[in-house]
Structure 1
Amino acid sequence: MNRRHLIAKALLALAAAVPLLAAAQAYPTKPVNLVVPYPAGGATDVIARMIADKLTPVWGQPVVVVNKPGAGTLIAAEQVARAPGDGYTLYMTTAAHTIGASLYKKIPYDAVKDFTPITLTSTIPLVLVTTPSLPVKSLSELIARAKADPGMSFASTGNGTPQHLTMELFKAQNKLALTHVPYKGDSPMLTDLIGGQVPMAFVTLSAAMPHIKAGKLRAIALAHSKRVEGIASVPTFAEAGMPGFVAATWFGLFGPGTLQPELANRIYRDVSKIVAVPEFTAKLKEMGGDVDNSTPQAFQAHIQAELKRWAEAVRLSGAQID
């Protein structure tokens, strides 16, 4: 009886799995929306469009990038969280997804339960830069100057952004008292950094690279595990005396929380082939980034680690948004 019972259970499980496998194999049969929580033209949008353009001929259906900026990514994220888990609404977002879970007093979704991680496609490290008029050329010199001048300020792209919270971690590790000057995005922040109105900031390497090469910003240290081609003279934080200090903007693909694992794996396999091609990796290198191409399981582990890391950074900063 036990053997017959086990066989019956196995057959039932197989019967339940067959429609899911068939659906995954047939997918997609209509256009797919790839939601991006930022305006067109930024790094997230560029990476999403690179993937969408290559997926369209693979799937035989249009993959349409839908830009839904606003409310610190909450508008786009809520739309995806409430979408059917049929694979026709996907979400390309950044570390902001894990930061928001601690930064906002109340969000209209659960950052873990309402999303299915598909793949961490790529990362772009942050770099600590100063205005060239600041008379420091190394990390140790910058830390010494900041300790001697407790009123020293730093810029960021806004309260609760990775750039802001990375500086909070830097401050805490070095026991610095710095004043935060938030801006609304990269452009106004970089303008004032270059002009010398603020002395330093963490900046995504893709945004900082042209200004570093032009001598308009001085790169102090790269929050990465290795040096980067194009600015190979810039040391990592580990090389500069702060081992383990790594910070990056990452770009990950999600589906709604109800997306079936079989379909998530199917999408991952197709996207993984695209991000591995030389054209994609070369474009990422131009932006100062790396292809990650992680499995759904590895991406899930990354999300859990990021939630803890940014929760600590938010606590240190005291930042909170209603």
Structure 2
Amino acid sequence: MKKTIRASLLSALVGMGALSAQSAVAADVNWPTRPVQVVVIANPGGDTDFNARMMAKYFNQITGKNMVVTNVAGGGGTLAAEQVKGAAADGNTILFTHTGQLIVNEVAGLSEDSFEAFDIACIAGVDKGAIFVASQDAGIKTLQELVDKAKANPGSISYGTEMGSFSHIQGLMFEQLAGVKLKMVDAGTVSEKVVALLGGRIDLGAISYGSVQDYVQGGQMAALGQPNSERNELLGDVPTFKEQSVDFTIDKPYVVAFPKGTDPAIVQKMAGIMQQITEMPEYAEELKKSFKQPVAYHDTEEAIAVLSKTRDDFMQYKDVLRAK
């Protein structure tokens, strides 16, 4: 027993030593030396772009160097990913993405690349602000009403999504876990889905609460549930799906990645800078105010583990996604 304890302690100390050495190397590397470009997979104005710009703002405060945000939307994020993948591995180009690009595109067959095609630095945040909303015309006020109607008339309730995207995965997972069949409709971007919901052209959508808050409070939409393991209290009185007997949870982590072959010390330094950012109260306040998003962070090792598990979870939808 004593030998086992000694071995465990030794292993822990060795691990701590390795981490300390890694941190020391990252601290010593001369980076950044000039403005760093962060390529964002989405258009300006959405939650992904907002998170990237918050990272850039506080990166500048910590390092004294600018982080220049470049939005490269299109192709489900593949255009931005290809741009970064082909960039010099010198630490001066970063990809800001999420599982909708890194994982769903691979599962859906939109890209042959996986997250292993990049050097992952960290998960800079996790979207906990998504909710399922129903349009006023749908006549659905609660999750139970949605489930009952969908079971009574399979395929009669339209779910607005972008085919092969993260929101498509959200819909497919809900169908499976709630035991219902929805009518999947390609409704476009978040702003286009909001317009479609308001016009009664779709019945249901999975959208960031910040994008529909005014309509929920005004009665034009009904908030049915949030797919978080525990309530994000920033969303007010919106219950989780689990509270309503549907064991549906799904996260959308925001990932910071470099071109393959980037100096590991630079990758680790970026992870450390992002951790510092998440510890700043003013950063947390901006996330809370703008997108009802709590602070979240995962270091390199944790981020890779999260991405690996997410890919395993999503692979069961491979055939459905590729058939669309």
> What TM-score comes out, normalization by structure 2 length?
0.85
Task: For residues 55-98 of structure 1, give each alpha carbon's deviation from its aligned partner in whole angstroms, at most 9, with x where no partner exists.
Answer: 12322322111111121111110111122322111111112211
Aligned-residue offset at 1:259: 2.0
Unaligned runs of 5+ in 2: 1-20
Q: 1:142 to 1:312 in 2, by over 3 A?
A: same
Q: Is the 8 A contact 1:155 1:189 kept in 2?
A: no
Asked whether 1:179 is paired with 2:183, we answer yes
**Where does residue 221 of structure 1 map in the other structure?**
225
- What do the CA deviations read for 1:219-249 (whole angstroms, capped 9, x no partner)? 1111012223354321101101123x11233
Within the alignment, does 1:104 sit opposite 2:109 as a pair?
yes
Verify: 1:154 aligned to 2:158, yes or no: yes
Pair 1:49-2:53 in alignment? yes
Q: Deviations over 1:177-204 (max 9, x none)?
A: 2211111201121112123222112222
Whether the 8 Å contact between 2:124 and 2:256 is mirrored in structure 1 is yes
Q: Secondary structure at the match of 1:121?
A: strand
Distance 1:83 1:163 in 2: 29
Structure 1 residue 106 displacement after superposition: 4.6
Moved more, 92-101 or 246-255: 246-255
| Corresponding residue for residue 5 of structure 1 | none
Q: The residue matched to 1:163 in structure 2 has which SS?
A: helix
User: What does residue range 155-304 of structure 1 map to in structure 2 within 5 Å?
Assistant: 155-243=159-247, 245-286=248-289, 287-304=291-308
Whether 1:128 and 2:132 are equivalent positions in the alignment is yes
Change (3 A) 1:149 1:80: same
Aligned to 1:39: 43
Percent identity between the aligned chains?
25
Residues of 2 paired with 1:292 and 1:82: CA distance?
A: 29
In structure 1, what is the equivalent of residue 16 of structure 2? none
How many angstroms does 1:115 deviate by?
0.7
Q: Could you say if the C-alpha distance between residues 320 and 75 of structure 1 is closer, same or farther in structure 2, counting changes exceeding 3 Å?
A: farther
Counterpart of 2:9 in structure 1 is none
What's the TM-score once normalised by structure 1's chain length?
A: 0.86
Q: Quick one: distance in 1 between partners of 2:218 and 2:278?
A: 30
Cα–Cα, structure 1 residues 93 and 22, in superposed 2: closer, same or farther, change >3 Å?
Answer: closer
TM superposition shift of 1:258: 1.1
Is the contact between residue 80 and residue 255 of structure 1 (CA under 8 Å) also seen in structure 2? yes
Partner of 1:306: 310
Deviation at 1:46, TM superposition (A): 1.4
Distance 1:158 1:113 in 2: 25
Query: Following TM superposition, by how much is the alpha carbon of 1:23 offset from its aligned partner in structure 2, in angstroms?
Result: 9.0
Q: 1:276 is aligned with what amino acid?
A: E
C-alpha displacement at 1:151, in angstroms?
3.4
| Residues 58 and 23 of structure 1, relative CA distance in 2, 3 Å threshold | closer
The alignment of Structure 1 onto Structure 2 pairs a total of residues equal to: 300
Task: Give the direction of change, closer, same or farther, for the CA distance of 1:112–1:133 in structure 2 (3 Å limit).
Answer: closer
Partner in structure 1 of residue 75 of structure 2:
71
Alpha-carbon separation, structure 2, partners of 1:202 and 1:22: 39
Structure that is richer in helix per residue: 2
Aligned amino acid, residue 108 of structure 2: L
Aligned equivalent of 1:14: none
Whole-angstrom CA distance in 2 between matches of 1:283 and 1:262 = 29
Q: Which amino acid aligns with 2:257?
A: F
Structure 1 gaps, min length 5: 1-16
How far apart in 1 are the matches of 2:35 and 2:123? 23
Please report how far the alpha carbon of residue 105 of structure 1 lies from its aligned counterpart in structure 2 after TM superposition.
5.2
Displacement of 1:147 after TM fit? 0.9
Tell me, in whole angstroms, the C-alpha distance in 2 between the residues paired with 1:61 and 1:232.
Answer: 38
